[in-house]
Amino acid sequence: MHKLTLLTLAGSLAFAAPALAQQAEKMDQAALAKIKDEGMNRSKVMETAFYLTDVCGPRLANSDGLNRANEWTKKQLTSWGLVKANVEPWGTFGRGWDIEKSYVAMTAPYYHTLIGAPKAWTPSTNGSLKKQVVVLKATTEAELDKYKGQLRDKIVLLDVANPPKPSFEPDAKRYTDDELKKMADFKPEATAAKPDEAEMEKRMAQRRTMMALRTKMSDMILSEGAAAILSTRGGSDGTFFTSNGAPYAADAKPVLPELEMSPEDQLRLIRLSEAGIPVEIELETRTRFQDKDLKGYNVVAEIPGTDRKLKSEVVMLGGHLDSWHAATGATDNAAGCAIMMEAVRILKATGVQPRRTIRIALWGEEEQGLFGSRNYVKNHFADPATMKLLPEHEKLAAYFNLDNGAGKIRGIYAQGNEAVAPIFQQWLQPFADLGATTVTTRNTGGTDHLSFDAVGLPGFQFIQDPLDYGSRTHHTNMDTYERLPADDLKQASVLVASFVYQAAMRDQKLPRKPLPAAKPETQRL
Amino acid sequence: MHKLTLLTLAGSLAFAAPALAQQAEKMDQAALAKIKDEGMNRSKVMETAFYLTDVCGPRLANSDGLNRANEWTKKQLTSWGLVKANVEPWGTFGRGWDIEKSYVAMTAPYYHTLIGAPKAWTPSTNGSLKKQVVVLKATTEAELDKYKGQLRDKIVLLDVANPPKPSFEPDAKRYTDDELKKMADFKPEATAAKPDEAEMEKRMAQRRTMMALRTKMSDMILSEGAAAILSTRGGSDGTFFTSNGAPYAADAKPVLPELEMSPEDQLRLIRLSEAGIPVEIELETRTRFQDKDLKGYNVVAEIPGTDRKLKSEVVMLGGHLDSWHAATGATDNAAGCAIMMEAVRILKATGVQPRRTIRIALWGEEEQGLFGSRNYVKNHFADPATMKLLPEHEKLAAYFNLDNGAGKIRGIYAQGNEAVAPIFQQWLQPFADLGATTVTTRNTGGTDHLSFDAVGLPGFQFIQDPLDYGSRTHHTNMDTYERLPADDLKQASVLVASFVYQAAMRDQKLPRKPLPAAKPETQRL
């Protein structure tokens, strides 16, 4: 899930379900029972998740790991009987990047191995370094200026914003009935407080000032001739958050080697140094840029429709295959991809005959800005900047996305689509015993369904139990296979397979919201 | 705290407080107010904790770190005005051991730095190794035998008993009023269930079988010519538990280099290898044995008594200064030492005039078997094997210990001493507002007060809020300074200072339990 994901945005349309006359949905209970049986009793979702995480490895945009995952998923989908499996370029992304070595330790005042990893797209160190540290703490340009002349050949330690401490809250949770009821009852117009524009402008100004200071800080550390940077964005207990330390563009300006550290280690170094005790760091990173193929890719594959009239229409499902680099992106988003792949496997294995064509898409470069899905939508359906519709636009029945971790499905976000909500309510009914009952009008953001929504296509994301996604795994070095509860993934696979199946069988495509106006890039998320 | 600590043992004597006629304790409220004021408002406990953890570093028995801590605490106690500060040898311990380098990474099927550390007292690798792995899983000798001929030159991966998963329980907790009431109401004779001897014998037999298998496994891995071992004793999220991988004895038989790993990393290696994917590990550890001085040490220092008759009597307080090696032993037990040091600093700073002599002892080699305190008791008071009492035995008024993490003090374990309980009840009264109210007859085990209790001396340990000691810090690589909440350490320092002061002022020494019978080593904990 992209950085903005954890925001849940208020919907723009009211959903007044009880007031609508609900048309009964046709439901083939025998087919749904087969889907449930296959998914719960002969699941392969954990095997798929293992391949995506452990075998393919970290799947940073355009990295070796993502390339492995592209090839493996294409092969695997084909082996299950899907057709037209393809690693489809979406356009130009930028450089790939992989870690070939990463070692960092404190060698004075005593030896201690440190937990950390290079920030994405940072360069190698010049071999193995042994250097003294300088702690750099500055909240104004004047404070920053004081460090002039002090950074040459040093390893610069940046401050830790949120030091870890004993935690009295569990990492993981599931939605309570009460929380789900609040989502179901959500009425945007009744609860949306008018934003305080003066306050928002003040915060934006503070943010701009801070960003400008950070840029100046980076430039100064580089121009003063520092050797490397150690920083941290948070975490605890050996868990640290990761991000990119440099642009992926082929012509990006140079930056220093920079590692993201476990806060406990970073704080020890800072405390020692600030107490006047000389701290020496040994550091070696070797990273490799791949700049031969700058294109980005999505993996797609299909189950052909069986209805003569409807098979030219498409039900899509997907999730992003790329991840951050310090772990194997298990909950973000191997889980979503494994579940989507399992859903199509279930549909093939049960032998159900979907009327419409079903197409799975595993997106690339979501973490860098939803690039895979945005460009797929632009290439196939419409460019939101012009809203000139391509022929495929009218053929898409629905897109279903999954990218909120590994928790089981508790319902679905109707994404402000008033007409679709009562349909989803009925589709959920056979799965109430699996804990999925809630349709909310709340929008949810931050991931690939937005690319469809932005051109007026019906794109939806499911509600998932949060588990430890927000606290422990999302963009951390601990987003590993262990965080995937098999029962949750099985349940989600069944739910997704059933929704996709229903959307493929329905007489009509899913209802759409009115087409949005054309919006230039700068006005979009 | 020693490995057995987390057990709370049932007391052997009943405590019937309400039935006893309580003699009123003299309490100098002005002096107690001074102690509280100094400890709460001018505390240095976090500064002391910083030096013990970050500056001294890991403090494994007889390591450089413990030596640094011995010298620093001696100097620091002297600087606060304590006298006779001494690093006092207690006898022969064994070899010291320090880590000089530790690097471990997976280099195939792709690169990934691994989180781990050498087990204590394991040897260096022969330079930097790059080797294939073998997963070794055996619960019987027959299963073990199957690995013959397969281990040569390999890195052996041992199994993970408890794989991590999303956690729905908070790491840290405080005692509830209800839990404290249960402790206070504890009646050993009413609740102690007769142990099922057949069941216990069965478990012991299973344990012996398992230990024998492990020994055979170690011998086989060594004799088959494996290169190194990676194993894990648990943990999650980048946290792993640590222990020793070899005896510290100077004449210990050779073992292989062995690292304790984060379970997430270990499991990834195991899953890949078991799926038939060749896994290559790069590994370099350099460890250094210190065998010039095999003696173990305790640090002692005194505040001399001021009462002509009573100053030959001694009130002791202490905690163990040694720790495990993969972190800085913050909660186990820099916290206890910092609090004990702060308590004597408070007593000096307030200018109170204790009648008896107060002696602080910071024990060595507790983690290896309470060696520092046991031998101190043997050298100064009595050998429990003979119970021949030395002259100092009758001079000890009390010993107070702290070694249950960094949580604030909620009361004290009376350790089966019926007569002392009502005294402690009164001593706690002035500190009810700080949350310390509970006297329990429950015994508590696993640490240095046991050495005193074993020879009939009144040795006590305080009840502390557990925080994340059991779940996150005890014997892990994450037992760091961050885990020490300043408010908890300040409160505990005040409580300890007040207890020590009361014990030094009281007309009589604290009441003792009857002297135990002499017990050979094998019959003791």
Kind and range of the H or E run holding B89: strand B83-92
Judged by CB atoms closer than 8 Å, whether chains meet at A238 and B115 is answered as yes
A246 and A368 fall within a common domain: no
Q: Residue B221 in contact with residue B156, Cβ under 8 Å?
A: yes
Report the distance separating Cα A109 and Cα B172, nearest Å: 31
Q: Are residues B456 and B494 in the same domain?
A: yes
Identify whether B124 is part of a domain.
yes
A280 and A312 part of one domain = no
- B134 CB contacts (<8 Å, ≥6 apart)? B147, B150, B151, B154, B155, B156, B157, B226, B273
The torsion of the CA quartet B96, B102, B108, B111, rounded to 10 degrees, works out to: 160
pLDDT of residue B22: 63
* A158-A163-A166 Cα angle (round to 5): 160
Domain annotation covers residue A148:
yes
pLDDT tier, A521 (very low <50, low <70, confident <90, very high otherwise) = confident
What residue type is A464 in one-letter code?
Answer: Q
pLDDT tens per residue, range A7-59: 333 333 334 344 445 679 999 999 999 999 999 999 999 999 999 999 999 99
Mean pLDDT across A66-93? 98
In this predicted structure, which of A187-196, A386-395, B95-104, B451-460 has the lowest mean pLDDT? Answer: A187-196
Radius of gyration of chain B (CA): 24
Contact call for residues A399 and A374 (beta carbons, < 8 A): no
Measured distance CA(B15)–CA(A345) in Å, rounded: 67
Chain B residues with CB under 8 Å of A72 CB are none
Residue B421 C-alpha, separation from nearest chain A C-alpha, in angstroms: 32
Q: Are A111 and B105 within 8 A, CB to CB?
A: no
Residue B161 lies in a domain: yes
Q: What SS3 class is residue A113? A: strand
Q: Is there a contact between A451 and A373 (Cβ–Cβ < 8 Å)?
A: yes
Tokens representing residue B285 in the block: 């550890």
What does chain A come to in residues? 525
Per-position b or e across A55-86, b if 16+ CB within 10 A of its CB: bbbbbbbbbbbbbbbbebbbebbeebebeebb
Both tokens assigned to A440: 């909310």
3-state helix, strand, coil in chain B (%, to 5): 35, 20, 45
- To 10 degrees, the CA torsion angle through A304, A306, A308, A309? -80
Residue type at position B94: G
User: What DSSP string describes A121-172?
Assistant: TPPPPSSSEEEEEEEE--SSHHHHHTTTTS-TTPEEEEP-SS------S-S-
Cβ atoms of B284 and B127 closer than 8 Å: yes
In a domain, A20, yes or no: no
| pLDDT at residue B523 in the model | 58
Which residues contact residue A521 at a Cβ distance below 8 angstroms, ignoring those fewer than 6 apart? A385
Q: A259 forms bridges with which residues in the sheet?
A: A118, A230
pLDDT of the residue at B189 = 64
In this structure, are residues A65 and B287 in contact, taking their beta carbons and an 8 Å threshold?
no
Q: Are A217 and A339 members of one domain?
A: no
Q: What's A399's domain CATH number? A: 3.40.630.10
Q: Which long-range contacts (CB under 8 A, 24 or more apart) does B182-187 make?
A: B183/B411, B183/B438, B183/B440, B183/B442, B183/B463, B184/B411, B184/B438, B184/B439, B184/B440, B186/B11, B186/B440, B186/B441, B186/B442, B187/B14, B187/B15, B187/B441
Counting DSSP H helices and E strands in chain A, the numbers are: 13, 16
Classify the phi-psi angles of B84: left when phi > 0, otherwise alpha if psi is within -120 to 50, otherwise beta.
left
8 Å CB contact of B103 and A103: yes
- Identify the domain boundary among B290, B315, B335: B290
Out of A238, A272, A480, the one facing B239 most closely (by C-beta) is A238
- 3-state SS, B130-150, equals EEEEEEECCCCHHHHHCCCCC
Q: Is B163 left (phi over 0), alpha (psi -120 to 50) or beta?
A: beta
Contact B478 A173 (CB under 8 A): no
Q: Domain end: B263, B290, B317, which one?
A: B290
pLDDT at A187: 79
Using the 8-state DSSP alphabet, how is residue A334 labeled? I
Residue of B nearest to A162 (CA): B482
Q: Any idea what the Cα angle at residue A217 is, between residues A211 and A218, rounded to 5°?
A: 95
- A272 and A375 co-located in one domain: no
**Chain B residues near residue A483 by CB distance under 8 angstroms:** 165-166
Instruction: Specify the pLDDT at position A523.
Output: 58
Is there a contact between A264 and B169 if contact means CB atoms under 8 Å apart?
Answer: no
Encoded tokens for B417: 């001493």
Q: What is the DSSP letter of B301?
A: E
Query: Has residue B183 been placed in a domain?
Result: no
The answer to whether B184 and B312 are in contact (CB under 8 A) is: no
Alpha-helix runs per DSSP H in B224-334:
263-274
Same domain, B461 and B404: yes
**Helix H or strand E encompassing A361:** strand A357-363
Walking along chain B (525 residues) 10 residues at a time, the average pLDDT comes out as 47 40 84 98 98 98 98 98 98 96 98 97 96 96 96 97 95 97 82 73 91 93 97 96 85 93 98 98 97 96 98 98 98 98 98 98 96 98 97 98 97 94 96 95 88 97 97 97 98 98 97 94 59
CA distances (Å), origin A258, targets A106, A158, A218, A474, B511: 16, 10, 11, 21, 62
The predicted pLDDT at position B197 comes to: 84
In a domain, B283, yes or no: yes
Query: Could you report the per-residue pLDDT of A456-492, keeping only the tens digit for each?
Result: 999 999 999 999 999 999 999 999 999 999 999 999 9
Distance CA B175, CA B407 (A): 10
Are A490 and A512 found together in one domain?
yes
Ranges assigned E (strand) in B184-313: 228-231, 258-261, 280-290, 295-303
Q: How many CB atoms lie within 10 A of CB B153?
A: 11
Q: Rounded to the nearest 10 degrees, what angle do helices A29-41 and A486-505 cross at? A: 150
B362 shares a domain with B511: yes
pTM of the complete model? 0.94
User: Nearest Cα to B279, choosing from A481, A102, A55?
Assistant: A55
Interface test with B, best of A48, A51, A111 (most B CBs within 10 A): A111
Residue A13 lies in a domain: no
Give the domain extent around A405: 27-93+294-411+445-523
Residues of chain A in contact with residue B481, where contact means CB-CB under 8 angstroms, are: 267-268, 271
All residues of chain B having their beta carbon less than 8 Å from the beta carbon of residue A263 are 482
> How far is Cα B202 from Cα B318, in angstroms, rounded to an integer?
38
d(CA B249, CA B95): 6
Chain B residues lying within 8 Å of A268, measured CB to CB: 54, 328, 480-481
**What Å distances lie between residue B434 and A25, A375, B423, CA to CA?**
64, 61, 18
A50, B271: Cβ pair inside 8 Å? yes
Strand positions, DSSP E, B332-471: 357-363, 396-401, 409-413, 438-440, 459-464
Q: Structure tokens of A201? A: 């402008």
Q: How many domains does chain B have?
A: 2
Q: Are residues A376 and A466 in the same domain?
A: yes
Q: How far apart are CA A229 and CA A159, in angstroms?
A: 11
Distance from CA of A228 to the nearest CA of B (A): 19
CA distances from A288 to A229, A285, A306 (A): 18, 10, 47
Same domain for A82 and A69?
yes
How far apart, in whole angstroms, are the C-alpha atoms of residue A322 and residue A120? 13
Q: Which of the listed residues B265, B290, B315 is the one where a domain comes to its end?
A: B290
Q: Does residue B10 belong to any structural domain of this protein?
A: yes
For residues B74 and B302, give the distance between their C-alpha atoms in angstroms, rounded to a whole number.
11
Nearest CA in chain A to B50: A271
Strands A280-290 and A258-261: unpaired
One domain, residues B301 and B261: no
| Band (A5; pLDDT cuts 50, 70, 90) | very low
Residue of A nearest to B466 (CA): A166
The tens digit of pLDDT for each residue in A494-512 reads 999 999 999 999 999 999 9
Burial class of residue B152, CB neighbours in 10 A (0-12, 13-18, 19+): exposed
Measured between alpha carbons, how far is A283 from A114 in angstroms, rounded to an integer?
A: 10
For residue B27, the model assigns a pLDDT of 93
Q: How far off is chain A from B173, nearest CA to CA, in Å?
A: 6
* CATH number of the structural domain spanning residue B158: 3.50.30.30
Q: What Cα–Cα distance (Å) separates residue A159 from each residue in A117, A267, B298?
A: 17, 8, 37
Report which residue type is found at B232: T
Clarify whether residues A306 and A352 are in a common domain. yes
Q: What pLDDT is attached to residue A190?
A: 53
The three-class DSSP label of residue B334 is helix
Cα–chain center distance at B24:
35
Q: Residues A234, A235, A236, A237: is their CA dihedral positive or negative? A: negative
* SS3 at position B290: strand
AA identity, residue B192: A
Q: Which residues pair with A295 in a beta bridge?
A: A92
